Structure 1
Amino acid sequence: MDSLYLLIPIAIVFVAVGIKLLLWAIDNGQYDDLDKEAWSILNEDKRAEKKQPSQSQVNDDSH
């Protein structure tokens, strides 16, 4: 029974911190666009092709 006097306030603090972190994430836009990241995995190949320099650009830079 004595342990409940310690565990209940600790549990309340954990819940309060969790709610505070959730509200912070919502305010900072973490949940604004959930579909963008879901679709980005499908478009990853296209982005990788754009980032890699073409063979002619590699040869021009070596001079």
Structure 2
Amino acid sequence: MSVIYVLLVISLTVAIGFFIAFIISVRSGQYDDSYTPSVRMLFEDEVIKDTSTSESKEKSNNPSNKN
């Protein structure tokens, strides 16, 4: 039964160590992404509003318009 307590303490120590290492690496900027925003700008598509399809739908749904 005491082996479970020893393993629990060891596993918590390792988990806390990895958590501290993660916090230190985040604060030092290791996970900052400075490359993706510059590349994303090159591949952004411009939004083009397609008004002709919406107008044709309105004309076909409106029975008062007889073309």
Question: Structure 1 length as normaliser, TM-score?
Answer: 0.51
Structure 1 equivalent of residue 24 of structure 2: 24
Cα distance change, pair 13–34 in 1 and its aligned pair in 2 (3 A) = farther
Moved over 3 A (4+): none
Q: Which runs of 5+ in 2 are unaligned?
A: 40-67
The percentage of counterpart residues that share the same residue type is 24
User: What is the identity, as a one-letter code, of the residue corresponding to 2:21?
Assistant: L
Q: Which runs of 5+ in 1 are unaligned?
A: 40-63
Higher helix proportion = 1
- Taking only aligned residues, the RMSD between alpha carbons, in angstroms, comes to 1.8
Q: What's the offset of the Cα at 1:21?
A: 0.3
Structure 2 equivalent of residue 6 of structure 1: 6
Which structure has the larger Rg over C-alpha atoms?
A: 2
